[in-house]
Amino acid sequence: MNCPREKGCSLVNDVEHSFEQRVPPQVFMVNDGLATEAQVVDALAAHRDARQLVRLVQCPSCSHPLKSPVTLPCSHTVCRGCLPEPQPRTNISYPNTPDRLMGIVCPLIGCGAEHAAAECSVDVTLTKLMELVAQEIAQHRPSSKHSSILLQEILRRDSAEEVNNEKEKDHSSEQGSQEVLHGGRLVSTYDMAEMGKLRYSSEVEYSTTSADDDHEHMDVELVERLREVTYQELDCLVCYNMMLEPTTTTCGHTFCRRCLARVMDHSNICPFCRRDLHISASLRTKQCSNAILNSLLNGLCPDLVASRAEAVKAEEQAGNDVMSTPLFICTLAMPAMPTFLHVFEPRYRLMMRRVLEGNRQFGMVMYNRTTSSQGSLGSVPFLKYGTMLEIVNYELLRDGRSFVETRGIGRFKVRAHGMLDGYNVASVERVEDVSLAEEAALEQRETTMARDLAESHFREDPQTQLPTDIAVESLSTQQLLDTCTAFVREMREASAPWLRDRIIQVYGEPPEDPALFPYWFASVVPVLEEEKYVLLRTTHVRERLKVVYSWIGRIRGQRWASGSACNIL
């Protein structure tokens, strides 16, 4: 709040600190290793927050308005002339190019991070914005010198100690430069910084010399122009909207953080200049936002930033909160078994990045090659039963591709589906086996009926073979498992190609659990995936073992070559 003016005074006592308690000054003190982003809720006020606004465009190293600014990978921004000379980087030989073998150390106290010289390019967007800010300041300087204002620099304690060479300080020693300048607070504060008489960390006290000067009106008018310039200049060159979390690449171009991450999912070049970028495709933790641009946007137009954030959030939702399961349409995966993926399509790169940022789980479904109807889903491009996979290991390649090791953690049925940024998402229902009581009842019912039919059959015609279906159902669940495991041992002894040591190393030894054995067998045996798919929708352990038993019968019926089963069924 401004002090009331006393009319008729030759010197109006209009002295104020420019930093209000609403925003602590430390949030801007990047030279001390503190936070660098403006943590504001409301837009910075033109008159009251003049010092904060000017600090946003000051170099934290030389305290002048930024000139040819360089945004470093550590997120600090300084003038290019403030950077130290490049020095050879020790114990670094890759990539073996001169600009990456030389390093530049961040000059800010409390940081000292070393960056490859190739990563220290001039920030193109901020350079253009600084030129426009300087133009607006020049246009708003008063033509006459009647509108004057006294600026008194108030040093921070550490700055005052530096000035006094560690001599004992009193209140007056904490005062720095003093200037009488013309215009509103914004123009005069900027001019004082441009003169090199306002340290980055210092505060300012303002005193007006005339009761008729409307400095506040000047500041409001200038801030409106700066807000307009900032809004127009900070458009992302990928989405053509106002930048959200502006992130600057090593080549000096700036984009929305999410837009750049999406580009990195399928490319390793800058979307603007096509220069190779050596940054993480995920951009989850390694790439910092451009703190200066982020602060300017939040300080000048926080309402627009909030609206943009809400719009992005809405875009990234599937349109229905229950459609939270990403679907990878590719191959068949089995519960409790490993599945190895090579991810190269842009849409699935994006999906994998989001999965890694979330619970590391996604659904795997098969292609619907015959375009058959999937019940209430209709003729969708995938089969409605799938396996939920969890990422175990993830290897990201330099070109954005990745190798993913997953393990099945359960089955599901797709209830509804939609699209999100090019890939399918779904609402799914978990598929569980029936209870052990139901399983036991099924076995008892089937074996009892089958044995009764077998006895009747042999009484009537003891010379004929028992029908296959009756023979299978007459076996207990454990007998089915024992028959299947015995077949596996037989095939291993016969050196079947689908049971080589490397296969066993990947999928392990045959499980002793009847519920898991069919999934293991389906993972190693060369049977068409459409036939294996039946296992995903079967909720009885016994039924799954019977499916496997039928495959074994077909394998035995094939011709043998070199003592092993043929590889084509």
Residues 160-171: pLDDT tens digits?
445 444 444 444
pLDDT band for position 126 (cuts 50, 70, 90): very high
**pLDDT at residue 267 greater than cutoff 50:** yes
Q: How far apart are CA 64 and CA 80, in angstroms?
A: 12
> What is the average per-residue pLDDT within 43-47?
81
DSSP 319-370: SSTT--EEEEEES---BTSEEEEEE-SHHHHHHHHHHHHTTSEEEEEEE-TT
Residue-wise pLDDT for 170-220, tens only, equals: 444 477 888 888 888 889 999 999 999 999 999 999 887 665 567 788 888
User: What residues have CB less than 8 Å from 369, skipping those under 6 apart?
Assistant: 530
Query: In this predicted structure, what is the pLDDT of residue 489?
Result: 94
SS3 assignment, position 227: helix
> What is the average per-residue pLDDT within 45-65?
90
**pLDDT at residue 569 greater than cutoff 50:** no
Structure-token pair, residue 139: 């246009």
**pLDDT at residue 466 greater than cutoff 70:** yes
pLDDT band for position 80 (cuts 50, 70, 90): very high
Q: Is residue 364 within 8 Å of residue 387, measured between CB atoms? A: yes
What are residue 565's DSSP bridge partners? 560
Query: In this predicted structure, what is the pLDDT of residue 233?
Result: 86
Cβ atoms within 10 Å, residue 384: 23
Residue type, 259: C
Query: In this predicted structure, what is the pLDDT of residue 26?
Result: 37
Q: Is residue 328 within 8 Å of residue 383, measured between CB atoms? A: no
Residue-wise pLDDT for 218-232, tens only, equals: 888 888 899 888 888
Q: Scanning the structure block, which residue is given the tokens 């190019």?
A: 97
What are residue 418's DSSP bridge partners? 425
Across all residues in the chain, what is the average pLDDT? Answer: 81
H helical segments located in 33-156: 50-55, 98-101, 124-139
**pLDDT at residue 389 greater than cutoff 50:** yes
Kindly tell me the burial class for residue 69, based on how many C-beta atoms sit within 10 Å of its own C-beta (0-12, 13-18, 19 or more).
buried
DSSP 506-540: HH-SPPS-TTTHHHHHHHHS---HHHHTHHHH---
Q: How far apart are CA 343 and CA 67, in angstroms?
A: 43
What homologous superfamily does CATH list for 322-431? LON domain-like (2.30.130.40)
Query: In this predicted structure, what is the pLDDT of residue 37?
Result: 38
User: What residues have CB less than 8 Å from 274, skipping those under 6 apart?
Assistant: none
> What is the average per-residue pLDDT within 404-429?
93
Q: Give kind and range of the element (H or E) at residue 493.
A: helix 477-493
Q: Scanning the structure block, which residue is given the tokens 């193109």?
A: 124
Query: In this predicted structure, what is the pLDDT of residue 556?
Result: 85
Is it true that the peptide bond before 302 is cis, omega within 30 degrees of 0? no
SS3 assignment, position 419: strand
Q: How far apart are CA 114 and CA 488, in angstroms?
A: 58
> What is the average per-residue pLDDT within 247-266?
83
Query: In this predicted structure, what is the pLDDT of residue 210?
Result: 62
Query: In this predicted structure, what is the pLDDT of residue 7?
Result: 36
Cβ atoms within 10 Å, residue 88: 8
Cα separations in angstroms, 474 against 146, 329, 435, 467: 108, 39, 21, 11
Residue-wise pLDDT for 493-509, tens only, equals: 999 999 999 999 999 99
**CATH level 3 topology of 236-318:** Herpes Virus-1 (3.30.40)
Structure-token pair, residue 304: 């627009």
CB pairs under 8 A, 24+ apart, for 391-395? Answer: 391/352, 391/355, 391/356, 391/360, 391/361, 392/338, 394/352, 394/356
Cβ atoms within 10 Å, residue 14: 21
**pLDDT at residue 402 greater than cutoff 90:** yes
**pLDDT at residue 147 greater than cutoff 70:** yes
Q: How far apart are CA 21 and CA 11, in angstroms?
A: 27
Query: In this predicted structure, what is the pLDDT of residue 398?
Result: 86
Structure-token pair, residue 455: 């006895």
DSSP 208: E
Q: How far apart are CA 119 and CA 561, in angstroms?
A: 61
